[in-house]
Structure 1
Amino acid sequence: MHREPDPATATSPIGVPDSLTVRSEAAAAVGAALLAGGMASFRVKTAMAIVAKALGLDSFISIVSFTDITATATLNGRYRTRITQPDHVGVNVDHIARIHRMVEMLPERVDATEIFERLVMIAARPPLYGAVVNALAAGLACAAFSFLNHGGLVEMACVLLAATIGQALRRVLQHRHWNHLLVTVIAATLTSAVYALAVGIPTALGALGPGHQGGYLAAVLFLVPGFPMITGILDIVRSDFSAGIARLTYSAMIVLAAAASVWTVGVVAGLEPAASSATTMPFPLELALRAVATFVGVLGFAIIFNSPLKIALGAAGVSLVANSLRFTMTHTGAPAQLATLGATVLVGLLAYLVARRTHIPRTTISVPAVVIMIPGFTLYTAFALMNSGDMNGALMLAQEALQVILAAGFGLALAHLATSSTWRRVAQPR
């Protein structure tokens, strides 16, 4: 006896373009796209909840980790739970900003098809900057870091060369979706080797005198995972422990991989991670030069993060003001962690004002602005001292770096708590 097929139901996509399945997948796709761009988990949850409401779903409850989303959607007494994983997790500020604007401008009701079409258009956007600009941005950012760590012109020039070459290779491997740890090891090894040659060959020929090893660690600072490091702390403040702990674990793994590679090349090449001697210029001049270096460094990192130029300039301008305050505080004797806390609170407040006027997520401004304050130089030095047997020195530097990193994350969190009512509440978006 012939039996007619079962009719489509509210939980089946067959013949029902506005089914629970399709709507829940559309909301989850928005979250996956934001997660792939590096957005913190709370903002991912908020965006999915807004989209779910516009799609007509009764609720959308989600758990967001570093690499996947588990969500349950309900509609008319029915529910559907699904797990979504983005193809690749990295940092793409352009995609984050465009998805944020899309969510912000959603009408009261929207079709799932429209959500999917917009996401496809955003995902198809190529990088805003070509390979040459991207690599030079890393080189200039690390050269600026070298100056902030008291490097001279020779160190800055060698850092510029080494970091540019290292980032060029790193970008090629990232576009091939290679394992992040392997990419970090290869890029750190090449960058360190280029710096060692750039300093060692002229020194051996007598064209340079000894003592230009101070930029050795600064050359690999483009590998410090500042974005997941800061967003991981923000996640933990919001009690999103699965995402926060995963992000911080990933950050620690990348830092250790880079530090081990740099130390290995240093042992082979006979380079010591010695800090450059402090400059003795007048304070007003040093403050001005540090402000310029901060602006260049943050602008370079923002370009690496694929930030649109207006957002990159905004982040650089915010950091210029905040990092100048931080340097002034440390110059007057304030502890580094206290100065960092004050500076990052200021970053968060300024980013909030900029984000309100330009309708962009504040993370796209605040995180690149804070990356310049991450003590990557100190972290790498601590690892090198540990391997050389100086455990006391290594532990002192490690705890100093950890305190500064925590201060940076908590400073942004305090700014969020002061300016966002949703951040002050325990309730999760749904």
Structure 2
Amino acid sequence: MEQFVDSFPSREAHLTGEEIHKRLDEIEQIHALYSPVKLGLAAALACCGFTFLLGGGPVEMIFAFIAAGVGNLIRMKLIKHHYTLFLNIAVSISAACLTYAVCLHMAELLFHISAVHEAGYICSMLFIIPGFPFITSGIDLAKLDLRSGLERLTYSIIIVLVATMFAWIMARSGLERLTYSIIIVLGATVFAWIMALLLKLQPQDFAALHLGNMMHLFLRLIASFCGVFGFSIMFNSSVYMAATAACIGAVANTLRLELVDFTGMPSAAAAFIGALTAGLLASIIKRNHGYPRISLTVPSIVIMVPGLYLYRAIYNFGIMSLTEAVSWFAAAIMIIVSLPLGLIFARILTDRTFRYCT
């Protein structure tokens, strides 16, 4: 689509309206590059990397890998058969949480694994994070494309809220783009909350990892690469483009985490710098290789979206722990706002057409 837009003045401008619609229909009919099984593995890899970056250890990473793979496989099967969004969210989130809980209980029985590792169940459902509508809604709003921006943001929020609410319950036992974002956010958070209630899972801190600074840095680079690569494959990027985005994300996300740990920088400010770095690197690569900028930047910073914070906020709202809920929610909002801002300023610095009003 971006190639079509870029070449439009020179190659497509002379076409009739019917011919343009035919070309757009051909683009729309392009099939996904990967099967549901491969996309399940991509989600498993992404959530496994996400788990380490959030503080999880090998046990949580293995369980999250299995659970996220099952959840996204089911999600892609439902999408393929055109099931409605809320059913898609409910079933895939439930499957991921249930799979994690089963793996944990089996490990307790067979290997005497401690129940403290239940903290990783949140990571098993982070594949539902609506990264593209979340990030691109901010870029749309920066261009004053209010309808698209608001619709994407709304869609994202709905997914997050519904999913976290459903997971919470299980544990205890622009208007088009903004709307799209709010639906996803609401849906995902609600259903995650429900699942938490049903499975008697509670969000806890991960067990401490005793790693040296250099080893931690090295593992963060690897985990960031794997996480971004998995998300990029889920967004239907080619393997080479996904690897390029993963390299950008490894640098940008590791920089963000190191700034928080070693300089005491607030998470939101570090997120802005991380997103700015990703945007600048993507602009350089676009200039040299012609890849769509959005296909590089969004996967590289989706891993910075605070899905864990959003879930904990909804969970604490559900149990009426309002002070803690507001704290988590405020921290999440600050980071979420900072991420598209970083990309926007990267575009302002590197893209003349974006820098000026039209």
TM-score normalised over the length of structure 2: 0.88
Residue 318 of structure 1 corresponds to 248
Deviation at residue 98 of structure 1 after TM alignment? 5.0
1:238 maps onto 2:143 in alignment: yes
Aligned equivalent of 2:234, options 304, 321, 329: 304
Residue 165 of structure 2 corresponds to 260
- Within-5 A mapping of 1:13-162: 96-97=1-2, 99-100=4-5, 103=8, 106=11, 109-112=14-17, 114-162=19-67
Which amino acid in the other structure matches residue 101 of structure 2? A
Deviations 1:92-115 (CA, angstroms, capped at 9, x unpaired): xxxx45545654762663455553
Contact 1:98–1:122, Cα closer than 8 Å, also in 2? no
CA distance in 1, matches of 2:2, 2:205: 38
CA distance in 2, matches of 1:284, 1:100: 44
Deviation at residue 203 of structure 1 after TM alignment? 1.7
Distance 1:187 1:105, change over 3 A: farther
Residue 362 of structure 1 corresponds to 293
Residue 377 of structure 1 corresponds to 308
Deviations 1:74-95 (CA, angstroms, capped at 9, x unpaired): xxxxxxxxxxxxxxxxxxxxxx
Which amino acid in the other structure matches residue 136 of structure 1? L
Deviation at residue 311 of structure 1 after TM alignment? 1.6
CA distance in 2, matches of 1:242, 1:264: 34
Residue 207 of structure 2 corresponds to 277
Residue 216 of structure 1 corresponds to 121
Deviations 1:26-75 (CA, angstroms, capped at 9, x unpaired): xxxxxxxxxxxxxxxxxxxxxxxxxxxxxxxxxxxxxxxxxxxxxxxxxx
Which amino acid in the other structure matches residue 126 of structure 1? H
CA distance in 2, matches of 1:381, 1:107: 49
Aligned equivalent of 2:80, options 167, 171, 175: 175
For structure 1, the 5+ residue unaligned runs are: 1-95
Contact 1:173–1:183, Cα closer than 8 Å, also in 2? yes
For structure 2, the 5+ residue unaligned runs are: 174-198
Aligned equivalent of 1:402, options 318, 325, 333: 333
Residue 180 of structure 2 corresponds to none
Contact 1:101–1:360, Cα closer than 8 Å, also in 2? no
Deviations 1:190-218 (CA, angstroms, capped at 9, x unpaired): 11111111112332456322211121100
Which amino acid in the other structure matches residue 372 of structure 1? I
Deviation at residue 360 of structure 1 after TM alignment? 2.9
Deviation at residue 132 of structure 1 after TM alignment? 1.5
1:425 maps onto 2:330 in alignment: no
Contact 2:116–2:207, Cα closer than 8 Å, also in 1? no
CA distance in 2, matches of 1:324, 1:136: 23
Which amino acid in the other structure matches residue 319 of structure 1? G
Which amino acid in the other structure matches residue 135 of structure 1? G
CA distance in 2, matches of 1:104, 1:407: 34
1:389 maps onto 2:320 in alignment: yes
Which amino acid in the other structure matches residue 356 of structure 1? R
What value does the CA root-mean-square deviation take over the aligned residues?
1.8
1:345 maps onto 2:345 in alignment: no
Deviations 1:109-139 (CA, angstroms, capped at 9, x unpaired): 3455553454344333221112221110001
Contact 1:99–1:122, Cα closer than 8 Å, also in 2? no
Q: Which has the higher strand share?
A: 1
Which amino acid in the other structure matches residue 243 of structure 1? S
Q: Which has the higher helix share?
A: 2
Residue 179 of structure 2 corresponds to none
CA distance in 2, matches of 1:345, 1:214: 31
Contact 1:234–1:413, Cα closer than 8 Å, also in 2? yes
Deviation at residue 379 of structure 1 after TM alignment? 0.7
Deviations 1:4-29 (CA, angstroms, capped at 9, x unpaired): xxxxxxxxxxxxxxxxxxxxxxxxxx
